[in-house]
Structure 1
Amino acid sequence: MADSMEAVRRLLDLRHRSRPEDLPPALAAVASLIGATNVVALMIDYEQISLWPLQGTPGDDAARKVNDTLAGHAFRTAETTQEDSCLFLPLLHGAERLGVLEVWLEEQPDERLRRDLVVIAALVAELIASRRFYGDAVERTRRRMPMQLAAEIIWNQLPPLTFAANDALVTAVLEPCYDVGGDAFDYAANGDIIHVALFDTVGHGISASALTTLALNTYRNARRSGLDLVDTYRSIDKWIRAQYPGSFVTAVLAELDTTTGCYRRIAAGHPAELHLRGDQPQEALPTPTALPLGLGHMVRRGPGVTELMLAPGDTLVLYTDGITEARSADGELFGLDRLAAFVRDEQRARTPAAEMMRRLIHTIVSYENGELRDDATAAVVQWRPL
């Protein structure tokens, strides 16, 4: 007879004294308590192409493809999927998709056991998220090739790819995974305000990642100090000019009031966001409204702040030029029209935002025949009041 509560208690024992690689044997040990023959935690790789058993899983090192397996379907949809007596439950840390919990049951589960397994999957996701910084098992599982130092620096600075709260959702993608150096994004929720920023640093490699790190952390410092958008721009601009004279960073610095739908932003030499209402593109926002960060001293006037009143369900897509300037083998740019068509089609198909971003970055990589010429980053902001 299943004893789901005992399984939960044993897994909770991992909270205080465990390494990430202790989770797979613990899952195997509690399998019988939930009427299972095996339980496997599958982690998504950095490319978001395959799901891999967490390092330490006994006797299983096979990938489950995201695009053509039931495990992948659970990941893509963030919903439980079943085949015969095997359940695939999404591992969600908040709205962030970490992977999938694969549960091989001895018999068909009743409704109570299904609910219990959802709780256990949530607990496993929390354990992975909290334990991942105490060892390298999660990182080693997610990496399918060596990561360059510049990319290591950037990934260690970034927040989770997906966040949802306060009637808003933010999700982002970053490519190439193992060699990125100049792009970054950030967000935060403070009270009714969602803060979002996207950065595109000139150059590549270690020098670019160092400049990006400065811009990103100066942005956080300004935000946490309570500065408004204009003073945040000035602070980042000042520090870049002082530490890296002659260099610059294009950026979007934005905030969304989730009570009113008021979106305010500074476009510092950056492409305009793509704004969709349902699946219909709206008029482009003015850009730029300020010089790139690091060059602001070249004009006397302050940065311009654009305001836009969103309607419930509106979507904003922020992107770096690595998206629209991706080139096909014959030199044709991916372009804004193709980006707008892609997002429109995904909206019509009701693709979840995080999955839309995963598909977008794979589309860009495929468009450039697997060899990106520049960092490509995009982020979606959706306002979804109840």
Structure 2
Amino acid sequence: MAGWAYRTMSLRLSHRRPLTVWLPLVDGIARIGVLRVSADQITPPMLDGAVQLAAVTALTIVSKSGFSDLFRRTARQRPMTTASEMVWAFLPPRTLGTDTVTSTAALEPAYEIGGDAFDHGLDDGRLHLTVVDAMGHDLAAGLASAVALAGCRSTRRAGGTLTDIAGRIDEDLHRWQPGGLLTGVFAHLDLDTGQLDWINAGHPPPLLIRAHHVVPGALEAPGELPLGLGPGYEHPLTVHHAQLEPGDRVLIHTDGVTEARSAVGQQFGEDRLVDFVTRALAAGEPSPEALRRLIHAILDHHHGQLQDDATIVLAEWHPDSGDAGS
């Protein structure tokens, strides 16, 4: 940023109004906010200092937000439900990545979520992805999704396979939350080879976006039962495989995205979802920005009030880009 054209010029307002510069607050590749800097004139040294201040501010917010309610209270517009507070406490950062892969997620309604949750994480050359949707929209549903994330992390950190993850979640739900059903997609992406392995437990199929177009049926598979049914329904879920190409994106979503309805009952629909995402990516928007705008489009379609949780995870494999934010 400090290499901008501001190095060769100072900025002034002729009628003494403060000049305002907005600088992104960045944690890794995730933008967590903006910093406003105002002055009568902004010189190159001042701009350099502002850039450094933005970096320190982002570091402070990220390092202290887990120990101070001030940052969260300042960012929130209204109180969260108990279920939302619990689920958000389990969720990872919404964007993560390396020079090989970027994964970003969005979840709404932020203050009143019930059964949706997502997870993504990096582990020794592999990206893990999870999207779950628990039955219901109450505290019990939030507890089911929290149990699923905990079981998923515990199993994979112990070296478990995708089948092990699904089995652990199924067992935990049946034991600790009888009647709590949950659909989900659990996936591993090999960052060296681009091989995608995934399990689909009664969830909408993931979408494969290649060259700004969805590859029809690429990640579809025969439907399987959700998790939590317990004894009598136990069976190993099928692990599916697909080979990604550099630049491919995998989009996993819950049914609250496509089933969001307008005032006249029109669903947002998969076609609208695909069209919006592919147009945004074709226009060169980074994945986090594309998802941010998509969530706003879904909310606008539903007049700002969703009747179901809407969750999206978009992962891009870009081994040759050299840019985690592309």
Aligned residue runs from structure 1 range 1-386, under 5 A: 85-110=19-44, 113-165=46-98, 167-284=100-217, 285-288=219-222, 290-295=224-229, 297-299=231-233, 301-386=235-320
Do the aligned partners of residues 288 and 237 (structure 1) sit closer, same or farther apart at CA in structure 2, a change above 3 Å counting?
farther
Separation (CA, whole Å) in 1 of partners of 2:268 and 2:315 = 22
Aligned to 1:79: none
Separation (CA, whole Å) in 1 of partners of 2:76 and 2:86 = 15
Do the aligned partners of residues 238 and 288 (structure 1) sit closer, same or farther apart at CA in structure 2, a change above 3 Å counting?
farther
Aligned with 1:247: secondary structure? coil
- Per mean C-alpha deviation after superposition, the further-off stretch among 298-307 and 161-170 is 298-307
Aligned with 2:84: secondary structure? helix
Tell me if the contact between 1:325 and 1:334 (Cα under 8 Å) persists in the aligned partners: yes
1:85 CA displacement = 4.2
- Considering Cα pairs closer than 8 Å and 6+ residues apart, tell me whether 1 or 2 has the greater RCO: 2
Do the aligned partners of residues 140 and 202 (structure 1) sit closer, same or farther apart at CA in structure 2, a change above 3 Å counting?
same
Separation (CA, whole Å) in 2 of partners of 1:292 and 1:343 = 27
Give the residue type in structure 2 aligned to 1:96.
Answer: A
Q: CA RMSD in A?
A: 1.9
Give the residue type in structure 1 aligned to 2:260.
Answer: A
Separation (CA, whole Å) in 2 of partners of 1:115 and 1:164 = 26
Separation (CA, whole Å) in 2 of partners of 1:98 and 1:276 = 26
Tell me if the contact between 1:255 and 1:264 (Cα under 8 Å) persists in the aligned partners: yes
Give the residue type in structure 2 aligned to 1:180.
Answer: I
Tell me if the contact between 2:91 and 2:118 (Cα under 8 Å) persists in the aligned partners: yes
Q: Unmatched 5+ residue regions in structure 2?
A: 1-9, 11-16, 321-326
Q: Unmatched 5+ residue regions in structure 1?
A: 1-34, 36-82
Summarize deviations over 1:319-362 as a string: whole Å, max 9, x none: 00000111111212111111111111111211111111111111
Give the residue type in structure 1 aligned to 2:110.
Answer: C
Give the residue type in structure 1 aligned to 2:29.
Answer: A
Tell me if the contact between 1:270 and 1:287 (Cα under 8 Å) persists in the aligned partners: no
Identity %: 39
Aligned length: 304
